[in-house]
Amino acid sequence: MPTYAYRAVDPGKSCDRCCQGFEMIQKITESAMTKCPHCKNPVSRILFAPAVVIKGGPMTETDRKIKEYEKEGKWSHAAELADKEAEKTKRKDLKTRALEDYKKAGYNFDKYDTDK
């Protein structure tokens, strides 16, 4: 259940609890509180911006195409596209991904150094 924050509408006429603000755990389907449970004076719900965490950078069209090839089992196509994009953008993650896809396609690159 979500936690909602409330604060007094008129801090001058309210108790310490609602004047400072308080939190209540409520069902999503419950209506917002309109009165403080202690002093019965009017309160309003405080809205907060949602916390959004995005890991990594945005997915490019090339990333989408590589993922599509991988999903279809077209390892050589995915590897070649990742390899070309890695050379162009100098992205190490794509270079590693290209080598993994080449291996899945049956190529043997174990004898080569991947850090160059």
Of the listed ranges 1-10, 47-56, 107-116, the one predicted with least confidence: 107-116
Q: Confirm whether 112 is domain-assigned.
A: no
Q: Confirm whether 56 is domain-assigned.
A: no
pTM attached to this predicted model: 0.46
Encode pLDDT of 52-66 as tens digits: 666 666 778 999 999
Both 70 and 97 in a single domain? yes
Both 41 and 66 in a single domain? no
Could you tell me the residue range of the domain that residue 78 belongs to?
61-104
Q: Confirm whether 54 is domain-assigned.
A: no
Cα atoms found within 13 Å of the Cα of residue 79, Cβ hemisphere only: 15
Q: Confirm whether 38 is domain-assigned.
A: yes
Q: Confirm whether 12 is domain-assigned.
A: yes
Number of domain units in the chain: 2
Task: Please give the order of strands across the beta sheet that includes 43-46.
Answer: 22-25, 3-8, 43-46
Encode pLDDT of 37-51 as tens digits: 999 999 999 877 666
